[in-house]
Amino acid sequence: MALSVILACEMIEDEVRLALQAVPSEQPPVVWIESGLHERPERLRAALQDLIGQLDEGARAGTAVTISSVRPGRGAAAERREQVQVEPVEEVRLALGFCGNALQGLKTRHLRLVFPRVDDCVSLLLNCGCAREEIPREPRHYYLTRGWFNHESSLMEYFEDWEERFGAERAAQLRKKMFTGYERVNLIDTKAYELDDCLEDSQGFASDLELEHGIVPGSVQLLERLFKGERDSEIVVVPAGEEIGFGHLVGESDASTDAHAVANETAGDGGA
């Protein structure tokens, strides 16, 4: 198996840790990316490229590198920073979706980049063993996992700020306006956590927005395949020297028609 490192969004910490249990040999190191970066895909892209650049240099020089990670959890990311030492690797496994084009343009000189063929982390967790185009995702549904409640969420920060600035009644109006067009809140049962740990919070979130609530099946199978080094149609491998582009995600023939849709897909748009 190729020497590798995992770059993972802290929002899917539960699912990453569960998927890592399926790795038969020594687990690769994990560098956690702060969840708040998803609100600005250009910032997420810059942060990922910086980390990849450091790993790329380590591969070129044949030396270990020390790079910045976060301890998954709540609170300011600056207060949760920690350093992770990574020995020279051959590939970087991105436990992320395309996430509002955040992966587009990433490249290396010496490493392979490998990532799941999904638009964002919601689609990643809803994929129970199908192609990207067959993922059972409803556009008028908002999706959550326990990670949404256990990690930093810019959306919740907005809600709290509105309460302080405008009062409870006006804040409720703003929340409903933001979710105009949504019909239901779905908690994804990825089997990576106990539903009872966050079911009340999830139901309360839906109630506040006057939306229906449901539980839908999820899976970490795509993460497992990524971490075990498996390669198939839903795991994208980008060789050294080549940029990640739309063609890697949607297929060259569909890249132009899907570009706009993918550009609007962010972790905040659909939850998780």
- Span 93-128, pLDDT tens digits: 999 999 889 999 999 999 999 999 999 999 999 999
Q: Are residues 62 and 196 in the same domain?
A: no
Note whether residue 267 is domain-resident.
no
Structural domain that includes position 145: 126-217
Give the separation between CA 225 and CA 227, rounded to whole angstroms: 6
Q: Which two tokens stand for residue 150?
A: 């256990």
Q: Are residues 224 and 110 in the same domain?
A: yes
Q: Are residues 87 and 166 in the same domain?
A: no
- Strand partners for 67: 84
State whether the Cα torsion 37-42-43-44 is positive or negative.
positive
Are the C-beta atoms of 124 and 116 separated by less than 8 Å? yes
Query: What pLDDT does 163 receive?
Result: 82
Q: Are residues 201 and 79 in the same domain?
A: no
Q: Are residues 206 and 233 in the same domain?
A: no
Question: Mind giving me the DSSP string for 253-271?
Answer: GGHHHHHHHHHT--HHHHB
Note whether residue 91 is domain-resident.
yes
Instruction: Identify residue 8 by its one-letter amino acid code.
Output: A
Task: Quote the pTM value.
Answer: 0.89
Give the separation between CA 197 and CA 122, rounded to whole angstroms: 19
Question: Shortest CA distance to 267 belongs to which of 104, 173, 88, 145?
Answer: 145
Question: Mind giving me the DSSP string for 217-246?
Answer: E---HHHHHHHTT--STTEEEE-TT----H
Query: What pLDDT does 74 receive?
Result: 86
Query: What pLDDT does 262 receive?
Result: 44
Note whether residue 272 is domain-resident.
no
Q: Are residues 69 and 173 in the same domain?
A: no
Domain count along the chain: 2
Tell me the three state secondary structure of residue 209.
coil
Give the separation between CA 176 and CA 68, rounded to whole angstroms: 38
Query: What pLDDT does 255 receive?
Result: 40
Query: What pLDDT does 79 receive?
Result: 92
Q: Are residues 144 and 98 in the same domain?
A: no
Helix/strand/coil (H/E/C) assignment for every residue in 127-141 = CCCCCHHHCCCCCCE
Query: What pLDDT does 150 receive?
Result: 87
Are the C-beta atoms of 265 and 120 separated by less than 8 Å? yes
Query: What pLDDT does 2 receive?
Result: 67
CB atoms within 10 A of CB 37: 22
Q: Low-confidence residues of the chain, pLDDT below 50?
A: 253-269
Q: Are residues 15 and 112 in the same domain?
A: yes
CA 73, distance to chain mean position in Å, is 15
Are the C-beta atoms of 213 and 271 separated by less than 8 Å? no
Tell me the three state secondary structure of residue 42.
helix
Note whether residue 268 is domain-resident.
no
Query: What pLDDT does 164 receive?
Result: 85
Give the separation between CA 167 and CA 165, rounded to whole angstroms: 6
Q: Are residues 151 and 201 in the same domain?
A: yes
Give the separation between CA 23 and CA 27, rounded to whole angstroms: 6
Query: What pLDDT does 261 receive?
Result: 44
Q: Are residues 57 and 113 in the same domain?
A: yes
Tell me the three state secondary structure of residue 74.
coil
